[in-house]
Amino acid sequence: MSGEIPLFRKYPKLRSIPWVSVINSPTPIHKMEEISKELNHKEIWVKRDDLTDDIYGGNKPRKYEFVFADILRKKKKRILTLGAIGTNHGLATTVHSKKFGLETHLFLVKQKLSQHVRENLLCHHYFGARLNLMKSNFRRKLAIKARLFFDKNAYFVTTGASSPLGTLGFVNAAFELKEQIDAKLIPEPDKLFVAVGSLATCAGLVLGLELARVKTQIVGIGVTDPSWSSKKATLNLAAKTLEIMRKKDSSIPDVLNELEKRLIVDHSYFGGEYGVPTKEAFEAIEIAKKDYLKLEYVYTGKTLSGLLDYIRKEKISKDEVVVFWNSKSSADLAPYVKKTKYKDLPKGFHKFFDGTIKVMKEDD
Ligand SMILES: Cc1ncc(COP(=O)(O)O)c(C=O)c1O
């Protein structure tokens, strides 16, 4: 099961950690010429994690290379996981788990309704997820506990797959970036902007870049409640991940004390509530189109809005090399949406389509 990924090239002893190939990698990295010109900033780059897969890419599948390997090793058959009804993680899990013959059961709670949320919900069904609408987080917890008790073939994947194993996917991503720097595909970045939601993406990058001895500082843009996506929680997850790595290879340095300096987590672009659009995110989405990037307002639009603001307020000097980590799949879901009728979803979900609930406008 151990492929030749950057992490294993760096630390061959980690090959004993189960891994399966899920994504197209390395993902491309290139300069955003138009945005750089518009902001009169020398070098703004983008890491194209939107292209990790042709059907459904983005950041989540990187985590599954380690999470799914663990599921397969334990010979489990069903994934139980959770999110809001439009969860990207739930959709990515459903799409990718199928390739390994695994079933996905989603335990969902409602969120502000938008066209994007509806589309994801239709796609959950199209790709074969078993859908459960839960009235509260508490009830959801009980329901999952009960299922895990009675179904010995079930495996629980935490929110956003942000477990230490999921985080390893982004430690690997940091080493992928390091290989791209070594190959002179990009100058060594000064700053990297990434969304912080359930934590693993940012935690893995911080840890990986420290281990790779790349100078890059990370600016994590918080897109979930600050009590959830805090710097402290991010560093805790990085610590747990490093522990797994050091158990397998004690020569890996204990870099925990170094991580603090490398990371800023900034919630100034959050907009007060998860999934709520901000004017600045819409502006960022428009600007990104000039470099042919398709962003959205929940994660990547807010993240790019933070990057733009740091540059405009000169929190970053003109000659710094900046990377925007594009974490949202840009694959077109329209063909699957078109083929799915909402009435084919379990009855409880019909209210999200039949006009009972107001749909939030996404363009203002
Ligand atoms: C598109 C997208 N980008 C970024 C994030 C944030 O990543 P993480 O949950 O690993 O913090 C998420 C999920 O929360 C996401 O769906």
Question: Which of 145, 161, 177 marks a domain boundary?
Answer: 161
Q: State pTM to two decimals.
A: 0.96
Mean pLDDT, rounded, for 182-202:
98
190 and 320 co-located in one domain: yes
- The answer to the question of residue 299 being in a domain is yes
Q: How many Å lie between the centroid of ligand 1 and the Cα of residue 272?
A: 17
State the Cα–Cα distance between residues 44 and 61, nearest whole angstrom: 25
Q: Which amino acid is at 286?
A: E
Kindly report the CATH number assigned to the domain that includes residue 107. Answer: 3.40.50.1100
Asked if residue 200 has its Cβ within 6 Å of ligand 1, the reply is: yes
Question: 364 falls in which pLDDT band (50, 70, 90)?
Answer: very low
- Which of 291, 308, 325 is where one domain is finished? 325
Mean pLDDT in residue range 184-192: 98
Task: Tell me the per-residue pLDDT of 284-343, one tens digit each, with 9 for 90 and over.
Answer: 999 999 999 999 999 999 999 999 999 999 999 999 999 999 999 999 999 999 999 999
Measured from the CB, is residue 196 less than 6 Å from ligand 1? yes
Tell me what percent of the residues of the chain surpass a pLDDT of 70: 98
User: Residue 150 C-alpha to ligand 1 middle, in angstroms?
Assistant: 31
- If asked whether residues 226 and 250 sit together in one domain, one would say yes
> Would residue 364 count as lying in a domain?
no
Residue 357 lies in a domain: no
Ligand 1 binding pocket includes 230 (Cβ within 6 Å): no
Same domain, residue pair 97 and 176: no
Ligand 1: does its nearest atom lie under 6 Å from the Cβ of 8? no
Is residue 311 within 8 Å of 40, Cβ to Cβ?
A: no
Specify the DSSP class assigned to residue 225. -
Rounded CA separation 111/230 (Å): 22
Structure tokens at 309: 């603001």
Q: Is residue 112 very low, low, confident or very high in pLDDT (cuts 50, 70, 90)?
A: confident
Assigned domain for 200 exists: yes
Please give the mean pLDDT across all residues of the chain: 96
CA dist 238 and 256 (Å) reads 8
Same domain, 244 and 301: yes
Q: How many domains does the chain have?
A: 2
Residue with tokens 């390091």: 178
| List of E strands, 18-138 | 29-31, 43-47, 78-84, 103-109, 130-133
How far is ligand 1, taken at its centre, from the CA of residue 157, in Å? 15
pLDDT band at residue 275 under the 50/70/90 scheme: confident
Range of the domain at 172: 12-55+166-325
Confidence of residue 1 (pLDDT cuts 50, 70, 90): very low
218 vs 160, 294, 350, CA distance in Å? 20, 22, 41
